[in-house]
Chain A
């Protein structure tokens, strides 16, 4: 078997204790792998460390949080890599779609420029070509009238459109792994479904791996091949999704499935 795209080994994240108090563990030794092109769901209640996990993979943890362990991505040891090396990977090989489409975009910058900036951050010198690439990508993620919309500011777009802008940004440079941190939680249900469909269409088209982080079992059940359940800073379940839905082993996972069973069955 080929080496995995991403391999997380005994990842621990600690929050700095206040005034000499012992640090609070957020993740207590998490291990899992993601194969190229695979879709993996990370499921957990709020506060289970899902978002910290996603941020630590990108090296964007807030200063008060420290990560230990090993994270291998395309042969790079991420936690040991230099800041420059990690920055070169961010956005180009490893990108993320954030939760809040309103606050995740700079209110003072046209959305097209914000997308084009992704290319400029990774060596594109020609601003016009970067902008053209951004407009193309906005069109491919289904933003109507991309040429015109690219000149708009974030507040002039709807929540779903903003999420598409963020997705265009994340997909622009054809990353090998896309992390989606609650990509649909801030959207209403119909838009949610559209965005998820779009995510999967783009994923199939590019053969990209997707790590979908969510507290929403429905989202993960309908879209992920494999499900990882985080509880209390540990991985309590790591199985194919159908197996997880029919026979969850861990008590917490069982509780999650039972809570939404009718909805999942009908899905």
Chain B
């Protein structure tokens, strides 16, 4: 029974981590594109139209990668910690 519970807990955790990381990357890119588009059309009236959008897309992508790195580092650290005590117990049994 406890095995099933642990499985469920780990499934739950990885599900939430996956949803979290993917969305924070996507929305960061989205923010970049939107900012670039508004700078292009509203501030510069379309004089250099696609360029600011493209530059901001890549900057937003960089921001997304940064979010990804922070979150994945944090989550993998936590996953390791969850694994570690179990291993110690196994060693003691052996």
A-B complex is real: no
